[in-house]
Amino acid sequence: MTDTRNADDVLLEVKNLKKYYPVYKGLFKKVVGHVKAVDDVSLFVRRGETLGLVGESGCGKSTLGRCIVRLQPPTSGDIRYRDADGDMRSILSLGKKESFDMRKKIQIVFQDPYSSLNPVKTIYESFDEPLRVHGMGNKAQRKETIARLLEAVNLRPDYMYRYPHEFSGGQRQRICIARALCIRPELIVCDEPVSALDVSIQAQVLNLMKDLQRQMNLTYIFIAHDLSVVEYMSDRIAVMYLGQVVELASADSLYASPRHPYTEALLSAVPVPDLDRKKERIVLKGDVPSPIDPPKGCRFHPRCAKCQDICRVEEPKLRKVAGTEDHYVACHLVDTVPMAEEGTQP
Amino acid sequence: MSDDLILKVENLQTQFDLGRRVVKAVNGVSFHVKKGKTLGVVGESGCGKSVTAHSILQLLPKHGKITGGSITYYSDDGEIVLSRLPKNGSAMRAIRGKEISMIFQDPMSSLNPVYTIGYQISENLLQHEKISKKEAMERTVEMLTSLGIPMASSRVRDYPHQFSGGMKQRAMIAMAMVCNPKLLIADEPTTALDVTIQAQILELMKEVQKKYGTSIILITHNMGIVADMADDVAVMYMGRIVEFGTVRQVLGSPQHPYTKALLKSVPVLGVGKNERLETIRGSTPDPSDLPPGCEFAPRCDFADDQCKTVPPDVDLGGGHRVKCWKCKGGLLT
């Protein structure tokens, strides 16, 4: 991973992405407001890296992931992806044929391995469908591909004739990962892939994902609420709060010197199984406000201990922290590079 | 010795008779809880930690039964053997909610959606104490205020769906604490909550413990929470306690191969980012078809023929005990 921002490395770019869900009320279903699930998010993902997305429930991390895979059409903003010629192209305005090809490159692994496999199809059938749809080989070749993929996730090839209910949770999640890999994608969005698993199984899946990334040069967007897991998996981490990215930095830098008060609180709230590492826990007051009517100014200000007058009025923009290479933060109280300079925003 | 104990469980066995097969969910569990202290019970799903908790209060479903062992509760008026009390008798009902109470895992589904929060909390008071409805409601408001619910006097008229997840869990704690119990059983109280809310609830439980001197049994799968909250720890695997000791003994120098592996398999914030996580191979066995002897043997790196018989409890001194053949006589390296 290079530290400097090399333009050729960037595989995916999200620009000012917004996703609003309308809220209806009354007999005539009048629109009375919007749930601002994702509100003006900009970030980029480099080829071969893992970008972690963390935040509490309802912060919009899954919605952002779904927008990137285009399971949800964004309200506004742009998502650009590097095509075969090396140019960045918007993936939201593609034609039918191009769109079809693009879906081959970006795949998703869902949180719940119990509900994301079709219970009435064998593993072979579940895998064969995308391969057939995308015209990847004849029947014998497809079967060989499936066998190879199952081996890659440490399952026996003859398991392909079994049904999902015959597998344990950890095995099912490995099957889901193998299925996402079957049409050889470049980018995989992993939406809470280990949250539903027991700790001893979680480690197996995390190790496997790291191995596969190395072997196949995959790029991951790793969404999770568990900070220790995200920190372990990711090269860079974006911390989200109420639909916005409040801090974006390399995993080491984020852990060693969190700049945003929310990141600080989040890091301190994670219980660590080490008795000698007593640390001051910052307990945030209150709950996350409603994303229908987020607080004015900085969205975190009602819960922030360092809140100043400016925080209540002006919304901070995500900007580069002064004196760092790759650390962005959206906070008035952090010394950031002025807006006028180039490359201050991700 | 028993002066400072609040609860003692000896060789508890709980089974579920499912007709064709019998599941031994708890298979000979012994532990004790000290007055005013916290016992952490850790283990993966299906290891019997919740069933142990439900056995204490005899809240088992119809096909579940305590088949052996004893549960002794040391009340102010002397010992009560809970496991001998009739399940729905008045003696057991006088203890449930009054002396020993419980916080359930999922606050979203443990509150009744058609009754107000205030009604559900004061119901407990009216059941156990001879007070008027008005007094009961006043004490409910007081309890909710002390647990950090803003405008409690109007919020008691709210229904559960009007509360957020963290507030619902506070309401659950209020319900459990309102009669001032001696022992609080918290079954994964923060698993369904976000980390920042989890931190709030854990702090709150610590405060409550300090204020009322309550003993707590904290059931969790998170080693971090155990390190933070517990004084003693019991590690469970497939219906047995494989390791028991103080938090420093168990987390500081774990002896059982399962405890060791469990501690190494979770990523810890800021530690060992580029190292591979150690995994425990295979998965947990089917509880109705357990391997003979040590349940962990098929997944254990140290297992040999000896492990096909049930290992003894090895006392390592200072109350630290391990259920493993390999730890006998010396420490496992």
Task: Confirm if A107 and A187 have CB atoms less than 8 A apart.
Answer: yes
Nearest residue in A to B270, CA atom: A255
Is A302 in a helix, a strand, or coil?
helix
Helix (H, G, I), strand (E, B) or coil at A272: coil
End-to-end CA distance of chain A: 17
Are the Cβ atoms of A271 and B166 closer than 8 angstroms?
Answer: no
Tell me, what's the pLDDT at A2?
37
Q: Do B227 and A267 touch (CB under 8 A)?
A: no
Mean of all residue pLDDT scores within chain B = 89
A200 in contact with B at a CB cutoff of 8 Å? yes
Q: Which residues of A touch B267 (CB under 8 A)?
A: 206, 228-229, 231-233
Provide CATH 3.40.50.300 ranges for chain A. 7-105+185-342
Q: How many residues does this entry show for chain A?
A: 346
Share of chain A above pLDDT 90, in %: 50
C-alpha to C-alpha distance for B18 and B289, rounded to whole angstroms:
13
pLDDT of A322 > 60? The answer is yes
| Cβ–Cβ gap A168/B283 under 8 Å | yes
Contact A271 B284 (CB under 8 A): no
- Among chain B residues, the shortest Cα distance to A263 is held by B196
Q: B199 and A168 in contact by Cβ < 8 A? A: no
- For the segment B141-168, the average pLDDT, to the nearest whole number, is 89
Return the residue matching tokens 């003006």: A40
Q: For residue B99, is pLDDT > 90?
A: yes
CB-CB contact of B279 with A203 (8 Å): yes
Number of H helices, E strands in chain A: 10, 12
8-state DSSP, B285: P
Average pLDDT for A32-39: 90
Buried b / exposed e across A111-148, counting CB within 10 Å, b at 16+?
A: bbbeebbeeeebbbebbbebbeeeeeeeeeebbebbbe
CB contact under 8 Å between A275 and B247, yes or no, is: yes
- Lowest average pLDDT, out of A53-62, A270-279, B104-113, B283-292, goes to A270-279
Query: At residue A89, what are phi and psi to the nearest 5 degrees?
Result: -125, 145
Q: What 8-state DSSP symbol labels residue A22? A: E
B 269-328 residues inside an 8 A Cβ radius of A: 269-270, 273, 276-280, 283-284
pLDDT at B328: 64
Residue B196 pLDDT greater than 90, yes or no: no
* Residues of A with Cβ-Cβ distance to B280 under 8 angstroms: 200, 203
Lowest average pLDDT, out of A4-18, A260-274, A295-309, goes to: A4-18
Class (C level, CATH) for A7-105+185-342? alpha beta
CA nearest neighbour of B14 among B85, B65, B71: B65
**Nearest CA to CA, how far is B103 from chain A (Å)?**
20
With an 8 Å Cβ cutoff, is A228 touching chain B? Answer: yes
The amino acid at B50:
S
> What one-character DSSP code corresponds to residue A10?
E
Which of A274, A280, A290 should we substitute to test contact with B (largest number of B Cβ atoms within 10 Å)?
A: A274
- The pLDDT value recorded for residue B332 is 54
Q: How confident is the model at residue A8 (pLDDT cuts 50, 70, 90)?
A: low
Best residue in A197, A272, A276 for a mutation probing chain B (most B CBs within 10 Å): A272
CB proximity under 8 Å: B 195-254 to A: 195-200, 202-203, 221-228, 247-248, 251-252
Residues of chain B contacting residue A255, judged by C-beta atoms under 8 Å apart: 269-270
- Whole-model pTM: value is 0.86
- The whole-chain average pLDDT of chain A stands at 88
Best to test chain A binding among B164, B204, B269, B299 (most A CBs inside 10 Å): B269
Q: Rounded CA gap, B323 and B239, in Å? A: 12
Tell me which of A310-319, B272-281, B301-310 is least confident: B272-281
> How far apart are the C-alpha atoms of A81 and A260, rounded to whole Å?
29
pLDDT at A3 over 50: no
Residues within 8 A of A (CB atoms), B 144-173 only? 164-167
